[in-house]
Amino acid sequence: MQRFVALFESLDRTTKTNAKLEALVAYFRAAEPADAAWAVYFLTGQRLKRLVGTRELREWTAEFSGLPPWLVEDSYEHVGDLAETMALLAPEPGPATDTFALPRLHELVEAKIRPLSGMQDDARKASVFEQWRQLPVTARFLYNKMITGALRVGVSKRLVTRALAQLAGVDPGLTAHRLMGDWQPTPESYRSLLLAEGEGGHDHATPYPFFLASPLEDPPETLGPASQWRAEWKWDGIRAQLIRRSGETILWSRGEERLDGRFPEIEHAAAGLPDGTVIDGEIMAWRGQTPLPFSLLQTRIGRKKPGAKTLENAPAVLIAFDLLEVEGRDLRPRPLRERLELLLDVVEAAGPEVRTSEAVAFDDWNALPELRASSRARGVEGLMLKHVDSSYQVGRRRGDWWKWKVRPYTFDGVLLYAQPGHGRRSGLFTDYTFAVHAGDELVPVAKAYSGLKQAEIDELDRWIRNHTRERFGPVRSVEPMHVFELAFEGIARSKRHKSGIALRFPRIHRWRRDLAVDDADRLADLERLIGD
Amino acid sequence: MNPPNLLLPDAGGLYCPAGDFWIDPLKPVDRAITTHAHADHARSGSGDYHTATDNLPVLATRIGEAAPHHGHDWGRPFDLGDVRVTLFPAGHIFGSSWVRIESDHGTWGVSGDFKRAPDPTCAAFRPAPVDVWLTECTFGLPVYRWPSPAQVVDEILDWWRECRAAGRPAVLFCYALGKAQRLLAELSRHADETVWLHGAMRPLVDAYREAGVEMLPTRLVSEAPKGVKFAGELVLAPPSAAGSTWMRRFPGHSAGFVSGWMRIRGNRRRRGYDRGFVMSDHADWPALLETVSDMGARRVITIHGNGEALAGYLRDQAMAAESWNLRASLGGS
Ligand SMILES: [Zn+2]
Ligand SMILES: [Zn+2]
């Protein structure tokens, strides 16, 4: 793991995207596939499950370093990161176990870390102590992060994708596709990441990268002739991809989480679809002809195996709005109108819980503002505008797909800082700061402290205490992991904020557990709303 | 029962009633013993200064020579009032001392600042037995352990080489007194290039050079011809210059910071330096403990920095230990 340690150090040292990209490319070029596979795994934000709890880590640190527990606590208070505190408290190994003796990254993970999960407490401790005795300080820090399931390296999945695409000499969209879904850190899957275009296939469960609409800030007539555009309601549910291949149904969220088992009625309805079908759509709570509020759908998200009562209270459907694959053929390069025609045919074979929705008819652009204004009454978020000839692209690309939401504006932000609230909420972490992506950084754009339910506040409070990265007085920075949808009333430029923008009345709309950090919005998305 | 205290916190430093002098006072007093020339130990305005002979030129550069300065050789006792004072090298910066005070009520030692790691610019810390040891505690937590200076010098050289290969200026921030000269001396063992200096570094580098400390040749940035971009050159600057308009002279530079605080990742990241190099002129945790034992003290008092942890740790080891806050004495008197 010597190379991985060096990579971590160079990524940690710079805030410049190009320097990070260079370091990543150099690493992937030199690393053995078995190690590089794990590097991809960690760098793209996947994590092992927590194998050692924070209390254990504290106790073991005291025992290992021979320091009294209170001094370990004082040190932690000072450093602000438990994994780092431990790494700093243990003496450096002697020259006999210099960096030359460092284990390979894949050996460490596969032979030393993963087996911890099946071990008795004493054996786990002995195994961890053995690593602590051997690993020098940075390697020990990374090891501690891995066993506590908290290793994050400060690069975005997009940047890792770019580095791998550069090395493979393929379009980043293809690399993004290869990385989708349940990517396994094996040398084989790493090698297939680097194949040339046209080589290699995908696992049958691999989803396509989602194509995301950009917020429309100019009036729609600037898009050109209305006849070239299709309007759809923007549904307020969970964006999902339904895969029917090899006689199996797989449901993916936009955050690349498998939703299998959570929506049995949709899976059941999809069983009629022919093999080699992939549908893009929105999971909605739905009764008869009417969409139900998102809060009802929320009762379904956390349930791995919903009971009869839950199914009855919040029945779900998939609104299919695009077809990405038919008869095993990748349709994404085909124009939207062609994909939609095929979609209508394909969906015939499914049960009623997989359904299409009609386009919103409009003759000219003048008809649209009134339709958009009716969104709230219809239980939708606004309108989608899609060019009828648009291909299905990768990620957020401006030009062919737009979302035209009703006010209030909303965006998806990443929880970055938290501090205790006042009065009734004092003692709980209830004041949050949210950030969006800017280049390769997360830049804070909004503070908000209302909008969550008490149970969510409690859950988040516990999570924050266990995942604090640094402390600045009462403020804690946390690992960027949770995404929230925030609503706000207005936006203006601001010199006082690092982000360069100020939002009016930001508040939390909801916790987007279905989104990963990479899915959060970009600063540029917000900047474009200025002057809207 | 303990005999009465030979020293008390006063005027931001320590007052010795039996000898009627202050050690490292921050406010003007009649008679000061000055351990070394850092601003948190040496202030102008006092009547009389006693310090190590080696420290005289450095101290003069920092506080001027308005009042009489008395130089004392290390290890040679002198009497002040009813006590006998001896200065010993502290290994902190050039001319730095710790102070031993012998009296009828026992022997006390005051550390000023000190370190135990090798430093080519100053005499090594010399331990001597005391009953009570007043120790600085700038890095008084066990997370502070220094890598060997040789290793850190290698890291700095590698970084400088990388900068040179990339055609970027290498701007190294460090304290102007002590650290800058230590770096120039360490680097002179591996390189012979001229290093560029921020103006604030000049008088102190000159003072070291005149005292015979061997260092890399230096030039002032202000003396460089117009249009020079310092590509691949090493520039030393005090931390206060970071983020100032002066930095515009070094387009595309990489910024490093040499300090014990760089041991903590959060400090490195928050301060926004590209590189942090862990080298300190203070004792790390193991050196603080080692020194307590080397001095053979029965009682330890921590001064300077947050000393509660070290005092608590020593009490856990059944030693008499407490923490004194010298700064607090500024408010009262
Ligand atoms: Zn000092
Ligand atoms: Zn000091």
* One-letter amino acid of A305: K
- Cross-chain residue pair B145–A15, CB shorter than 8 Å: no
Q: Are A241 and A208 in contact (CB under 8 A)?
A: yes
Same domain assignment for residues B120 and B180: no
Interface residue B263 vs chain A (CB under 8 A):
yes
Kindly give the interhelix angle for A33-43 and A17-30, rounded to the nearest 10 degrees.
150
Q: What is the 3-state secondary structure (H, E, C) of A265-334?
A: HHHHHHCCCCCCEEEEEEEEEEECCEECCHHHHHHHHCCCCCCHHHHHHCCEEEEEEEEEEECCEECCCC
CATH number of the domain that residue B63 is part of? 3.60.15.10
* One-letter amino acid of B190: H
**Cα separation, A108 vs A102, whole angstroms:** 9
Interface residue A68 vs chain B (CB under 8 A):
yes
**Cα separation, B243 vs B253, whole angstroms:** 12
Domain ranges of chain A: 2-147, 211-405, 409-527
Question: Within 10 A of B126 (CB to CB), how many other CB atoms are there?
Answer: 15
pLDDT tens-digit profile of A190-240? 999 999 887 777 778 889 999 999 988 888 889 999 999 999 999 989 999
Supply φ then ψ for residue B88, to 5 degrees: -125, 150
Tell me how close the Cα of A24 comes to any Cα of chain B, in angstroms: 17
Q: Would residue B333 count as lying in a domain?
A: no
Structural domain containing residue B61: 8-143+281-323
Residues of B in contact with A79 (CB under 8 A): 143, 264, 266
Element (H, E) at A457: helix A454-466
Contacts of A67 (CB under 8 A, 6+ apart): A61, A75, A89, B142, B313
Chain B residue closest to A471 (CA)? B266
- Cross-chain residue pair A79–B309, CB shorter than 8 Å: no
Tell me how close the Cα of B288 comes to any Cα of chain A, in angstroms: 15
Q: Would residue B184 count as lying in a domain?
A: yes
Tell me how close the Cα of A90 comes to any Cα of chain B, in angstroms: 8
**Cα separation, A402 vs A214, whole angstroms:** 5
Tell me what pLDDT residue A97 has: 46
- Cross-chain residue pair B313–A71, CB shorter than 8 Å: yes
CA dist A15 → A21, A476, B71 (Å): 11, 21, 50
Same domain assignment for residues B48 and B89: yes
**Cα separation, B236 vs B215, whole angstroms:** 13
pLDDT 10s digit of each residue in chain B, 333 long?
566 899 999 999 999 999 999 999 999 999 999 999 999 999 999 999 999 999 999 999 999 888 889 999 999 999 999 999 999 999 999 999 999 999 998 999 999 999 999 999 999 999 999 999 999 999 999 999 999 999 999 999 999 999 999 999 999 999 999 999 999 999 999 999 999 999 999 999 999 999 999 999 999 999 999 889 999 999 999 999 988 889 999 999 999 999 999 999 878 777 778 899 999 999 999 999 999 999 999 999 999 887 999 999 999 999 999 999 998 888 644
Q: Would residue B130 count as lying in a domain?
A: yes
DSSP state of A120: -
Same domain assignment for residues B241 and B156: yes
Decide: helix, strand or coil at residue A258.
strand
pLDDT tens-digit profile of A145-156? 999 887 877 788
Architecture of domain A211-405: 2-Layer Sandwich (3.30)
Residues of B in contact with A470 (CB under 8 A): 266, 270
Report, in angstroms and rounded to the nearest whole number, the Rg of chain A calculated over CA atoms. 25
Residues of A in contact with B316 (CB under 8 A): 68
Architecture of domain A409-527: Beta Barrel (2.40)
Ligand minimally distant from the alpha carbon of residue B178: 1
Residue ending a domain, choose from B242, B259, B277: B277
Q: Would residue B248 count as lying in a domain?
A: yes
Closest CA to B174 of B101, B29, B102, B279: B279
pLDDT tens-digit profile of A427-438? 788 889 999 998
Closest CA to A232 of A74, A402, A71, A349: A402
The angle subtended at Cα A111 by Cα A109 and Cα A114, nearest 5°, is 55
**Cα separation, A231 vs A388, whole angstroms:** 10
Structure tokens given for A404: 């035209």
Structure tokens given for A481: 């992991």
Q: Are A236 and A287 in contact (CB under 8 A)?
A: no
Contacts of A245 (CB under 8 A, 6+ apart): A204, A205, A275, A276, A277, A278, A328
**Cα separation, A480 vs A469, whole angstroms:** 10
CATH number of the domain that residue B249 is part of? 3.40.50
Closest CA to A447 of A476, A418, A423: A418
Decide: helix, strand or coil at residue B85.
strand
Supply φ then ψ for residue A529, to 5 degrees: -80, -10
- Cross-chain residue pair A74–B309, CB shorter than 8 Å: yes
Question: Within 10 A of B299 (CB to CB), how many other CB atoms are there?
Answer: 17
Q: Are B285 and B142 in contact (CB under 8 A)?
A: yes
First to last CA, chain B: 28
Element (H, E) at A212: strand A211-212
Kindly give the interhelix angle for A69-79 and A54-65, rounded to the nearest 10 degrees.
120
Q: Residues with beta carbon < 5 A to ion ligand 2?
A: B 40, 113
**Cα separation, B162 vs B256, whole angstroms:** 13
Q: Give A 109-168 residues with CB within 8 A of chain B.
A: 141
- What are the E-state strand segments in chain B? 8-10, 13-16, 21-23, 31-33, 48-52, 69-72, 78-80, 83-89, 97-103, 106-110, 132-136, 170-173, 195-197, 218-220, 234-237, 254-258, 275-277, 299-303, 320-323
Same domain assignment for residues B239 and B123: no
Asked if pLDDT for residue A516 goes beyond 50, the answer is yes
Tell me how close the Cα of B37 comes to any Cα of chain A, in angstroms: 29
Asked if pLDDT for residue A532 goes beyond 50, the answer is no
Residues of B in contact with A141 (CB under 8 A): 265
**Cα separation, B79 vs A97, whole angstroms:** 53
Residues of A in contact with B309 (CB under 8 A): 71, 74-75
The angle subtended at Cα A290 by Cα A286 and Cα A293, nearest 5°, is 60
Asked if pLDDT for residue A67 goes beyond 60, the answer is yes
- Cross-chain residue pair A71–B266, CB shorter than 8 Å: no
A423 burial level (CB within 10 Å; 0-12, 13-18, 19+)? exposed
- What are the E-state strand segments in B154-233? 170-173, 195-197, 218-220
**Cα separation, A188 vs A110, whole angstroms:** 15
Number of structural domains chain B divides into? 2
Q: Would residue B329 count as lying in a domain?
A: no
* One-letter amino acid of A181: G
Same domain assignment for residues B137 and B22: yes
Chain A residue closest to B252 (CA)? A16
Tell me what pLDDT residue B332 has: 47
Report, in angstroms and rounded to the nearest whole number, the Rg of chain B calculated over CA atoms. 21
Structure tokens given for B131: 């009953």
Q: Are B135 and B151 in contact (CB under 8 A)?
A: no
Contacts of A181 (CB under 8 A, 6+ apart): A203, A205, A206, A207, A252, A256, A258
Tell me what pLDDT residue A426 has: 60
Interface residue B165 vs chain A (CB under 8 A):
no
Greatest CA separation for chain B: 70
Interface residue A14 vs chain B (CB under 8 A):
yes
**A158 versus B331: which is more confidently predicted?**
A158
Tell me how close the Cα of B306 comes to any Cα of chain A, in angstroms: 11
Kindly give the interhelix angle for B179-187 and B202-210, rounded to the nearest 10 degrees.
60
Asked if pLDDT for residue A531 goes beyond 60, the answer is no
Is the model's pTM score more than 0.95? no
pLDDT tens-digit profile of B122-171? 999 999 999 999 999 999 999 999 999 999 999 999 999 999 999 999 99
**Cα separation, B116 vs A63, whole angstroms:** 27
Same domain assignment for residues B255 and B295: no
Locus of tokens 């020079």: B228
Band (pLDDT 50/70/90 cuts) for residue A425 is: low
CATH hierarchy code of domain A2-147: 1.10.3260.10
pLDDT tens-digit profile of A291-304? 888 878 878 877 88
Element (H, E) at B11: none
Tell me how close the Cα of A110 comes to any Cα of chain B, in angstroms: 27
pLDDT tens-digit profile of A76-127? 988 888 899 999 998 877 654 445 578 999 999 999 999 999 899 999 999 9
Tell me what pLDDT residue A345 has: 94
Interface residue A91 vs chain B (CB under 8 A):
yes
Ligand minimally distant from the alpha carbon of residue B91: 1
Interface residue B313 vs chain A (CB under 8 A):
yes
pLDDT tens-digit profile of A333-374? 999 999 999 999 999 999 999 999 889 999 889 888 888 888
- Cross-chain residue pair A65–B316, CB shorter than 8 Å: no
Q: Would residue B332 count as lying in a domain?
A: no
